[in-house]
Structure 1
Amino acid sequence: MRINERRSLWRRMKPHLLVFDAPLAMILFLLLATSMITMYSAGIEYPGRLESQVRNTMVAFIVMWAAALVPPQTLMRLAVPIYTAGVALLVAVFLFGIVKKGARRWLYIGFDIQPSEIMKIAMPLMLAWYFHQKAGMVRWHSFVVAALLLAVPVGLIQLQPDLGTSLLVLSAGLYVIFLAGLSWKALLGLFIAGAASLPVAWSLMHDYQRDRVLTLIDPTKDPLGKGFHIIQSVIAIGSGGIAGKGLLKGTQSHLEFVPEHTTDFIFSIYAEEFGLIGILGLILIYLLLIGRGLMIAANAPTLFARLLAGAITMIFFTYAFVNMGMVSGILPVVGVPLPFMSYGGTAFVTLGLGAGILMSIQRHRKLVRT
């Protein structure tokens, strides 16, 4: 009886424990292992930083597991409430938010939260739900409504101001709109309109945002001031050479030349210590992550699931591309972390939630077929 009871218990618990997509889980394991090794070196001057990263990873793992259990149908029902709550919190930040370092981005509800992080997932959820409702009836005005749904949170985030997060939320929404069938002609028109509006956008930028663009164009104009950090980051990447200097031997980080080298600039530390070979290996892991996500999106059973999985996957791509680009000096510094590598609690949880949603879509596709 006891053996049968144990087998019966395992059968009941198995569907709730074995919820991860094996290929995606293996890719994430490689990324997280690389993150821990790099954080051990980058955070050695910061006691407790590695332990905090381990804790953040465990929290993200729990969130990912919980998200993988939630069926896509439930996510679809939650899309509108989550989006509405996110916008309401952004309005609350605008009215009552906490100011830190000149930016009003946080809200105190017994503890500090950053509502803009919610929109990174809430935005593709909402637009995927919207286009799912319009399946077979998508017209030009459907894209106008989608653009308005996207513009509201992006505008509120930009008012904080938070250019990096607003760009990430904007890109997440645009990915859904594009995957929903926006024509190339419309995209070309939007690109032309965007290019034509650059002078207006420039006039609306804050001084520090203009400085970032000017620093990107010529960091040597102020090498000991605004251009110092990006110059040192590029030096760190280049000094790694082919094979790198080795773990704990990166001078740029350990001599405090590179700023925020456990968060936004962790890629420059990784590149200095592991060189071109390490960079190519890391890029390969990210390509595998994106490839697996796109496979899950392509095989998803519903339009909602396809749009959501595709958008989340491209969010991972945007994170990686923008971070590597900004620390390499080819994009402005906008404060975007390297996914599953940079230190940070909120970003790790958001990324874990995104990965969990991908696993949910893949898992429930299999359950439907069986």
Structure 2
Amino acid sequence: MQFDKRAWLDRIKSMFLGFDKPLALIVFLLLCVGIVTLYSATLDMPGKVEDQLRNIMLTFVLMWALATVPPTTLMRFALPLYTFGIALLVAVAMFGLTRKGAKRWINVGVVVQPSEIMKIATPMMLAWYYQKREGVMRWFDYVVGLLILLLPVGLIAKQPDLGTAVLVFAAGLFVIYFAGLSFKLIVPVLIAAVIAVGSIAAFQDRICQPEVTWPLMHDYQKHRICTLLDPTSDPLGKGFHTIQAVIAIGSGGATGKGWMKGTQAHLEFIPEKHTDFIFAVFSEEFGLAGGIVLLTLYMLLIARGLYIAANGATLFGRLLAGSLTMAFFTYAFVNIGMVSGILPVVGVPLPFMSYGGTALITLGIATGLIMSVARQKRLMQS
């Protein structure tokens, strides 16, 4: 039997037809930058790079698998996945595992964090709902969508896990907005937020006193916001993270100190340097020039995702791809803002850069879903 090299090459190529090449290339470049930075950040933590490489391999397998699943099939899993995720969140609230003062995990044979499921399940559920209501949507459909969104966000915030709650809320809100919610309804909320932030900044000396209690917020959340406004008020406590990260970013200058030559990171001044604060390590070693390259990659990632969303074949695909793409933006914006000292520290990883299997796999699943939307459009055109 003669070996047909061309037939085998065609067969291999067909296995990767689901991959959107531009999107896959951008993700690959971000992962490369992440591994290079992680290697420097974890010189004193043997095994972290190897663990991350295994996480990346698993992520690409999941990304490939989901990219080959048609969005019409994905729709069937939206309601069951959302319901399952809510059930797990309720179970966490009732008898979850508590670590470091937070009840976020549950043992179901293996220890899982259900809030990670909701980063995908919530936008999928909302996209499914608005697909079902396509052509007959009214104002109360946006109210229903908001209720669908607030249920998991409220359960996650109560754990407490403000960072994940923000990410789930943002992903769901983008679905509602892309489904047709008028921007005029969002403007008053933005104005109220600006007024609230301005008021906190103007009266921080009074409202940040220990005896003052903030409604609807835990003491540690109040302390984070007050420390953000004045990190020097607690330089060896909550303000330490922000102060050291800003010093690292500033000391990088225009071109950086060079790979593996960052003093703040290697002298252990930057906390969580391989996870939430990896941007500080990157900025110190590669400077402003490296930061511009990294931000350009993120902008290309978002631009490609929005292009796929805009050209989706169905409303479900457009809403899902659009919301997941903007979730990438939220991840990057919150993390970089947090490390730069313009947002409170909330524990949000930098997409495809921070060490961690759970967050990376969640991002890979999201990318695979976006690629699924792109593949459906290509198949319809061929």
* TM-score, with structure 2 as normaliser: 0.93
Question: 1:305 pairs with 317, 330, 334, which one?
Answer: 317
**Alignment match, 2:56:** 57
Identity between Structure 1 and Structure 2 (%): 60
1:306-335 deviations in Å (ceiling 9; x for gaps): 000000100000000000000000000000
- For residues 234 and 3 of structure 2, the distance between their equivalents in structure 1, rounded to whole angstroms, comes to 73
- For residues 133 and 2 of structure 2, the distance between their equivalents in structure 1, rounded to whole angstroms, comes to 53
- For residues 337 and 9 of structure 2, the distance between their equivalents in structure 1, rounded to whole angstroms, comes to 47
- For residues 299 and 193 of structure 2, the distance between their equivalents in structure 1, rounded to whole angstroms, comes to 29
**Alignment match, 1:92:** 91
Change (3 A) 1:193 1:146: farther
How do 1:286-365 residues align onto structure 2 when only pairs under 5 Å count?
286-365=298-377
- For residues 256 and 193 of structure 2, the distance between their equivalents in structure 1, rounded to whole angstroms, comes to 40
- For residues 270 and 11 of structure 1, the distance between their equivalents in structure 2, rounded to whole angstroms, comes to 40
State the secondary structure of the residue aligned to 1:300: coil
**Alignment match, 1:131:** 130
Structure 1 position 101, deviation (Å): 0.5
How do 1:192-341 residues align onto structure 2 when only pairs under 5 Å count?
202-341=214-353
User: For the aligned residues, what is the CA RMSD?
Assistant: 1.8
1:66-85 deviations in Å (ceiling 9; x for gaps): 11111100111111011111
> Quick check: 309-318 or 129-138, which moved more?
129-138
**Alignment match, 2:16:** 17
How do 1:124-203 residues align onto structure 2 when only pairs under 5 Å count?
124-191=123-190, 202-203=214-215
- For residues 51 and 248 of structure 1, the distance between their equivalents in structure 2, rounded to whole angstroms, comes to 18
1:250-305 deviations in Å (ceiling 9; x for gaps): 11111111100000000000000000000000000000000000100011111110
Structure 1 position 356, deviation (Å): 0.6
AA matched with 1:116: S
Structure 1 position 364, deviation (Å): 1.6
Structure 1 position 15, deviation (Å): 2.9
> Quick check: 236-245 or 56-65, which moved more?
56-65
State the secondary structure of the residue aligned to 1:227: helix
- For residues 240 and 12 of structure 2, the distance between their equivalents in structure 1, rounded to whole angstroms, comes to 55
- For residues 40 and 304 of structure 1, the distance between their equivalents in structure 2, rounded to whole angstroms, comes to 39
AA matched with 1:217: L
- For residues 360 and 237 of structure 2, the distance between their equivalents in structure 1, rounded to whole angstroms, comes to 31
1:80-99 deviations in Å (ceiling 9; x for gaps): 01111111111111112111
AA matched with 1:29: F
Structure 1 position 145, deviation (Å): 0.4
Stretches of structure 2 lacking an aligned partner (at least 5 in a row): 201-212
- For residues 196 and 122 of structure 2, the distance between their equivalents in structure 1, rounded to whole angstroms, comes to 24
- For residues 237 and 122 of structure 2, the distance between their equivalents in structure 1, rounded to whole angstroms, comes to 37
State the secondary structure of the residue aligned to 2:186: helix
Stretches of structure 1 lacking an aligned partner (at least 5 in a row): none
AA matched with 2:352: F
